Chain A
Amino acid sequence: MKIVVDFDLCESNAICMQIAPDLFEVRDDDFLYVLNEEPGEDSRARVEECVQRCPKQAISIEG
């Protein structure tokens, strides 16, 4: 599983950081950083929730 963020769409609402702080971090520069682009399968449900709840629909999963 690979996390793909469309940074043209991302507006750093930080919902993903709330759901999976170990994978996503919005820093003081207001940009989103993906901390682990290829997390294990045990993270899939949480990443799927991030995909669903991203207000900009900027997150997708490959694989």
Chain B
Amino acid sequence: MRPALPEAGHLHRGLILSRDSVHIVGASLAGIRAAEALRREGFSGTIALIGDEPHRPYDRPPLSKQVLSGAWEPDRIGLTKPEKFDEIELDLRLSTRATAFDLASRSLTTSGPDGERTENVDGLLIATGARCRSLPGTDGMSGVHILRGLDDALALRADFDRGPKRVVVVGAGFIGAEVAATARGREIPVTMVEALPTPLGRVLGEQMGSVMADVHREHGVDLRTGVGVDSVNGGDRVESVTLSDGSLIEADVVVIGIGVIPNTEWLDGSGLEIDNGIVCDATMLAAPGVTAAGDVARWPNHRFDEVMRVEHWDNAIEQGVHAAKRLLVDDSAAQPFTPVPWFWSDQYDRKIQLAGRVRADDDLEIVEGSLEEHRFAALYGREGRLVGVLGFNRPRHVMQYKMMIQDGVSFADAVSAEI
């Protein structure tokens, strides 16, 4: 039995708001971790967890790696053991899509296997995530893929299993890079097309972008940079891709990894402020009794004096927990959410990790290892502050410098630190 009352010390100081129920819209990482956090905090009301996919909450990072490679079957990526669901007594509603919310009347409309339903909500936590951008003219063309959900991964894997002659990956961001790495691991020929001069150059800077490019080329990827896609050609099935430099690449599989769009359309006219995500205050509150978390949430992170929307795995957890706790306290007890964003990407035999908020024009200093061996830690500085660390196979250093970012260490002190 869970305790009826919160245990002392679990909550931030301040009043515990008495709520009858919390509705969590979005049953992926942020949503399930939020639900678990509510119970840990002693919340004893009803928790509805509403997700539009038919699957129980699952972990997405393995989709582009272990699931796509065929090493893992989907039953390995569940986020929470089934018995845990019973323990936290969730009203889990799968295959159910939230279609509207009205802040004034606090009514939530959903559409699921039992039809449409409108109900009043008390606490609402929105974690509806984001969806992939697509390329015009590719709708319904088989062989063209995005990768976001389990069904996407299984569909792409099925195409990989057929032994494609060539895969074209559009976009050399992290998803595209992981798909390319997994395809190369399966010895499938890959052409990767990137509009920027170097992969991730706009984010990490040209020097680091060049390292990314080297790693891909060393693993046999035909990397084309500084070019766009003019058209994806074919009938029912894709046959080729025409690039903006006029070249034609024959391909039987195309994977599009050109970023995501936050899922907020269902909130148009809701009374919540939407601007490239759900606009929240520094504590993740979007409106009284309404919080947001994960890829869909935008908030001012005081640590970096920046309004941000973060699409990282770890952020979904931390923000989900924070947004859940926020629903249980009044304004006077609310804490700002000020994380140092962090993520990792596994490509080939490299573990790439980035902590902080980096820009292409930040100061850059290699502090451990070397670019040549593709094993290093690089620090990013801005206005004398340490703002980021990028590691290639340097997990210990990334974490130690991440803690320095957290502690507000100067760039000079970080560069000269012996760790």
Contact = CB atoms under 8 A, between A and B. Distances in A.
Contacts of B302: none
Contacts of A13: 344, 351, 353, 395
Contact of B313 (A12, A18, A30, A55): A55
Contacts, number: 40
A33 B314 CA distance: 22
A13 B396 CA distance: 8
Interface residues of B, number: 20
B395 A26 contact: yes
Interface residues of A, number: 15
Contacts of A22: none
A55 B344 contact: yes
A51 B332 CA distance: 31
A55 B396 contact: no
Task: Tell me if A's interface is mostly helix, strand, loop or mixed.
Answer: loop
B398 A15 contact: no
A17 B398 CA distance: 11
Given A11-B351, A13-B344, A18-B402, A55 B395 contact: no
B100 interface: no
Nearest to A24: B399
A55 B345 CA distance: 11
Given A15-B314, A52-B33, A55-B313, 19 more contacts: A12-B396, A13-B344, A13-B351, A13-B353, A13-B395, A14-B399, A18-B403, A26-B395, A26-B396, A26-B399, A27-B396, A28-B396, A30-B393, A30-B395, A30-B396, A52-B317, A53-B314, A53-B318, A55-B344
